[in-house]
Amino acid sequence: RWQAASSLGKIDPGNEKAIAALVELIGNPQLDDSTRWQAASSLGKIDPGNEKAIAALVELIGKPQLDYFTRWPAAASLGEIDPGNEKAIAALVELIGNPQLDYFTRWQAPSSLEKIMLEEQMPSVVTVLKDYLSPETYKNDFERFDNCYEVIWKCAQSMHYPAFYQAWHQQEKVKDGE
């Protein structure tokens, strides 16, 4: 099964049947970790921009019971699959803010985010992640602090100063429509 998952990612990029098979593999909790890992990895290569693949990867990394052996390659695939994809970016930002993540995923999420984030998306990323640059986060969760710092630093280097300033000083909007 592991080899099949690997081969599906190489045989026919964009093939809907192959994508559906990989999505089914990563969603099957009864399969061994290495098969799910390979399927998640293959999804990132088979069809950049495929909404089904992105949705499956986002759903996969959102599962709290998932181990790092599967979540980590899913986060890596999100960094390969579609630059600028809002769902992928939101999922990666959420991963970065999650204090219960394993080391590998916490390392991969910022790297993947930096790969796919477009300049026009940087202000909203800064607005969300800046709150993790607190003395409390520095003291209690330095790894998360450092990951947020690295992403924000990339944004600061890419954005015009007025846009960065505005993003930094903007309050995160309430999700209920405010």
178: number of Cβ within 10 Å: 6
Domain shared by 104 and 130, yes or no? no
pLDDT at residue 120 tops 70: yes
Last residue of a domain, one of 117, 147, 168: 117
Q: Given 82, 101, 117, which residue is the final one in a domain?
A: 117
- 43: containing domain: 1-117
Among residues 117, 143, 162, which one ends one of the domains? 117
Asked if the model's pLDDT at residue 150 lies above 80, the reply is yes
Give the domain CATH number at 40: 1.25.10.10
* Structural domains counted in the chain: 2
How far is residue 86's CA from residue 166's CA, in Å, rounded to a whole number?
21
Q: What is the mean pLDDT of residues 58-75?
A: 79
| 95 close to 78: Cβ distance less than 8 angstroms | no
Question: pLDDT per residue over 69-93, tens digit each?
Answer: 778 888 888 888 889 999 999 999 9
